[in-house]
Structure 1
Amino acid sequence: MKARAVRLHAARDLRLDEFELPAIKEDEILVKVVSDSICMSTYKCATLGVEHKRVHEDVAEHPAIMGHEFAGDIVEVGAKWAGRFKPGMKFTIQPALNYKGAMWSPGYSYEFCGGDATYCILPAEVMECGCLLEYTGEAYYQASLAEPMSCSIGAFHAAYHTQMGVYEHEMGIREGGKLAIVAGAGPMGLGALTYALHCDRRPSLVVVADINQDRLDRAAELFPPAEVREETGIDLHFVNNGEFEDQAAALREITGGAGFDDVLCYAPVAPVVTLADAILGRDGCLNFFAGPTDKQFSAPINFYEVHYGSTHVMGTTGGNTADEVESLELTAAGRIDPAVMVTHVGGLDAAAETTLNLPKIPGGKKLIYTHVSMPLTALANLRAAAEGDERFAGLADIVEANRGLWCPTAERYLLEHWVEA
């Protein structure tokens, strides 16, 4: 069958191709992709090409479909999986397969499997690893965003704390502790925040630090600190750390000088890493979440405190299947809202340019609907877009009525009013 997809041919060479999908094998599954959210990891993959660890060397001959945060409908099931999956099921995937120690992953490594596509084929290893997940929720975008949410959830679970003389780690952020999210007013930081406020293991204090005041103001609108405190009992602060000469002292002061039990660092910038380290309290755990593209990236940290204060640094990249299942369950229960990450929507024809220019496009997550043709449009600009296309007016009405957030009603409207490409 014919499919269209954004495929990687070489470093910085993404093309919207039309091609023939082969018939599926008995251990494969054919799916219709409906939504895919674009990840900074895909930008890194697109710019590095074969230098990326997940990209195969012959990508010029066998281009790889981009996109790993996708959801849609199962179309055809190979005989091996007929007892577990049925045509018509909604699905999402956990792309971190770790299949037999290999780095291959949907959205990076496969000629016929990825999210920036109309249709794709899930290889056997996706099912063998338990990474094809049935989705029973209302909106496809929520399933797409379960993957980036799972990355933040994994970071919370991977944090650890210690006791002097005890050689077993206590896993997870410190319950009732103090949490800082540094460079945290972007999409992934807001995803971490919504999880921190509504997960089962919660801090008592959360500080979101950033130097972008517009982002901080938007975050405070979405998570009003007074309402958060009344609902959860958590003391929430949004701080523009760029306004202080001694940024570390200003952030530590919020903790009464003790420092933070857990710090999530969301920018691969040396001064940001050093700041994140400087605000750790005793036995503080720093999760360096944001992966750099520079293989020589480094930053000063305080090794005196590593020795005497038991501070420690670790990093996570991605979540596991259990993290993604948790994300789906919390979303379905209405406890978290991954829509706080979304600031733009567009069609498949916008995916390649958006991916290659992702760092230059302000805002949060860019959500692609693969069966429509639509320029990438900021949610804040939907009303202005209606001047050239009246369909945007209805979309603007829905989003504005929902505090400027994407929502299931908006998705339904888009899929009904934009003709399938």
Structure 2
Amino acid sequence: MKTRAIRLYGVNDLRLEEFELPPIAEDEILAKVITNSICMSDHKAAEQGPNHKRIPKDIDKNPIMLGHEFCGEIVEVGKKWQSKFQVGSRFSIQPALNYKGTLDAPGYSFRYIGGDATYVVIPQQVMELDCLLPYDGDAFFLGSLAEPVSCVVGTFHAMYHTTGGSYVHHMGIVEGGNLAILAGVGPMGLSAIDYALHNTHRKPGRLVVTDIDDARLKRAESLYSVEDAKANGVQLIYLNTKEFSDPVAKLMELTGGKGYDDVLVMAPVKALVEQADAILGKDGCLNFFAGPNKTDFSASLNFYNVHYASTHIVGTSGGNTDDMRESLMLMEKGLINPSAMVTHIGGLSAVPEAVINLPSIPGGKKMMYTHLDFPLVALADLSELGKSNPVFKELATLVAKHNGLWSAEAETYLLKHCTKRIKE
């Protein structure tokens, strides 16, 4: 089976190549990739090349396939797995293998599996760890978003609280409590709002979402309305903290002075972390979600409250396999819709430039369709591009139909009508 894939040979040395995949062994699976979502981790992998902790040193001779947020269909099943997986079934992948203490992961460490490809061989490491996850949803791009959504799911599960006199940690946010999501209207913040309102575990009683941009806050409210939140038993408040001389006082006022049981910090900003610490109530848990680029990033913490009010801090990076399964289940049932994460679409040939330049490309997730060949396109630009391209014109109509979001309907149209396809 021939495949076309983006392979990494060295620092920012990404090449689109066609080559032959080896026949699968009895403990492997051959799969067709349909979508892969570009992640900032891909940029870091390309930027660091063989110096990256997950990437082999000899990629100049044995290049790896890039991409770890992918979804597709099973093409061939090795003998060992034929009772569990069937040809034609859809799947997603948990890339964080933790296989026998190594950091090996699809999209970083393997020659024949990575999301930026048309076909891949799913190796025995993935199968042995039960990291090939069945997906029954109607949109491939949602299956690709299961990994980033699982990061949000894991964050909620990682929150913890205590009871005086006991050393037991009670995991998860406080049921019916006060939850704040600071800088919460970026792509991951929107996913956190969605999960807080629609998950099947536990919900806050009050959710306060902050930002300093009115347009972004209004966009968030159009996606996750106050009325919808109320129907789910949650009082939802959007707050532009830039409008207040003392944002902490305003945030505390919204809780009647009690403070917040749970606070998520979605941007690596010193002042934001300190604001989060200042609004914690007794036994409040602060989750530093945002990953900083600087290794010496720090902020002040009120240790008086740590001692006397039992406030505490956690940090999460990624979700585990159970978090991914939960993400897939919630999407399959239509309970959550992380489409707001997607701001761009593109074909396989657009991957290298998008990965290398990712920090300078605004917006959220870049969803790549690996069997198609077209440049990276912002959803916001579809209407203008549609003046000269009938496919983009119809896609613009479909995006507008779904409140500016990418959708299963738009994906189906793209897969059927895109005029440029990767030759197989």
Bin for the TM-score computed over the shorter chain: over 0.9
Give the Cα separation in 1 of the matches to 2:199 and 2:368. 28
**Where does residue 213 of structure 1 map in the other structure?**
214
Within-5 A mapping of 1:199-210: 199-200=199-200, 201-210=202-211
Query: Residue 44 of structure 1 contacts residue 293 of structure 1 at CA under 8 Å; is this kept in 2?
Result: no
**Where does residue 144 of structure 2 map in the other structure?**
144
Give the Cα separation in 2 of the matches to 1:267 and 1:196. 18
Name which of structure 1's ranges 378-387 and 9-18 shifts more when overlaid on structure 2: 9-18
Say whether residues 1:43 and 2:40 are aligned partners.
no
Give the Cα separation in 2 of the matches to 1:357 and 1:245. 37
For residue 146 of structure 1, report the CA deviation from its aligned partner.
Answer: 1.4
Say whether residues 1:132 and 2:143 are aligned partners.
no
Within-5 A mapping of 1:234-273: 234-273=234-273
Identity %: 55
For residue 178 of structure 1, report the CA deviation from its aligned partner.
Answer: 0.9
Indicate the SS of the match to 2:404: coil
For residue 247 of structure 1, report the CA deviation from its aligned partner.
Answer: 3.0
Give the Cα separation in 2 of the matches to 1:245 and 1:10. 49
Indicate the SS of the match to 1:411: helix
Within-5 A mapping of 1:297-308: 297-308=297-308
The letter of the residue matching 1:81 is W
TM-score of the superposed pair, with normalisation by structure 2:
0.94
**Where does residue 74 of structure 1 map in the other structure?**
74
CA-to-aligned-CA distance 1:10-54 (integer Å, 9 cap, x gap): 233333233332222222111110011122222222223333322
Say whether residues 1:320 and 2:320 are aligned partners.
yes
Give the Cα separation in 2 of the matches to 1:199 and 1:16. 39
For residue 254 of structure 1, report the CA deviation from its aligned partner.
Answer: 2.0
Distance 1:202 1:30, change over 3 A: same
**Where does residue 287 of structure 2 map in the other structure?**
287
Give the Cα separation in 2 of the matches to 1:358 and 1:280. 34
Gaps of 5+ in 2: none
Indicate the SS of the match to 2:22: coil
Name which of structure 1's ranges 117-126 and 253-262 shifts more when overlaid on structure 2: 253-262
Indicate the SS of the match to 2:169: strand
Query: Residue 399 of structure 1 contacts residue 405 of structure 1 at CA under 8 Å; is this kept in 2?
Result: yes
Indicate the SS of the match to 1:163: coil
**Where does residue 404 of structure 1 map in the other structure?**
404
For residue 61 of structure 1, report the CA deviation from its aligned partner.
Answer: 2.3
**Where does residue 117 of structure 2 map in the other structure?**
117
Give the Cα separation in 2 of the matches to 1:135 and 1:77. 16
For residue 292 of structure 1, report the CA deviation from its aligned partner.
Answer: 2.5
For residue 66 of structure 1, report the CA deviation from its aligned partner.
Answer: 1.7
The letter of the residue matching 1:211 is I
For residue 350 of structure 1, report the CA deviation from its aligned partner.
Answer: 1.6
User: In angstroms, what is the RMSD of aligned CA positions?
Assistant: 1.7
The letter of the residue matching 1:203 is P
Name which of structure 1's ranges 353-362 and 330-339 shifts more when overlaid on structure 2: 353-362
Query: Residue 112 of structure 1 contacts residue 121 of structure 1 at CA under 8 Å; is this kept in 2?
Result: yes
CA-to-aligned-CA distance 1:277-315 (integer Å, 9 cap, x gap): 222211111111222233332222222211121111111
For residue 418 of structure 1, report the CA deviation from its aligned partner.
Answer: 1.0
Give the Cα separation in 1 of the matches to 2:284 and 2:371. 46
CA-to-aligned-CA distance 1:207-248 (integer Å, 9 cap, x gap): 12223333222111111223422x212111222223433333
Give the Cα separation in 2 of the matches to 1:285 and 1:276. 10
Give the Cα separation in 2 of the matches to 1:233 and 1:222. 17
TM-score of the superposed pair, with normalisation by structure 1:
0.95
CA-to-aligned-CA distance 1:324-368 (integer Å, 9 cap, x gap): 111111111111112122121111122222222222222222111
Gaps of 5+ in 1: none
Give the Cα separation in 1 of the matches to 2:58 and 2:212. 42
Distance 1:48 1:215, change over 3 A: farther
Give the Cα separation in 1 of the matches to 2:360 and 2:250. 30
Distance 1:275 1:108, change over 3 A: farther
Within-5 A mapping of 1:36-115: 36-115=36-115
Give the Cα separation in 2 of the matches to 1:297 and 1:60. 33
The letter of the residue matching 1:30 is L
Indicate the SS of the match to 2:162: strand
Indicate the SS of the match to 2:219: helix
The letter of the residue matching 1:39 is C
Give the Cα separation in 2 of the matches to 1:74 and 1:166. 49
Give the Cα separation in 1 of the matches to 2:13 and 2:268. 25
Give the Cα separation in 2 of the matches to 1:163 and 1:264. 21
**Where does residue 157 of structure 1 map in the other structure?**
157
Give the Cα separation in 2 of the matches to 1:161 and 1:29. 42
The letter of the residue matching 1:228 is A
Give the Cα separation in 2 of the matches to 1:358 and 1:278. 34
Within-5 A mapping of 1:179-218: 179-200=179-200, 201-218=202-219
Give the Cα separation in 1 of the matches to 2:103 and 2:134. 24
Indicate the SS of the match to 2:167: strand
Within-5 A mapping of 1:333-352: 333-352=333-352
Give the Cα separation in 2 of the matches to 1:338 and 1:55. 29
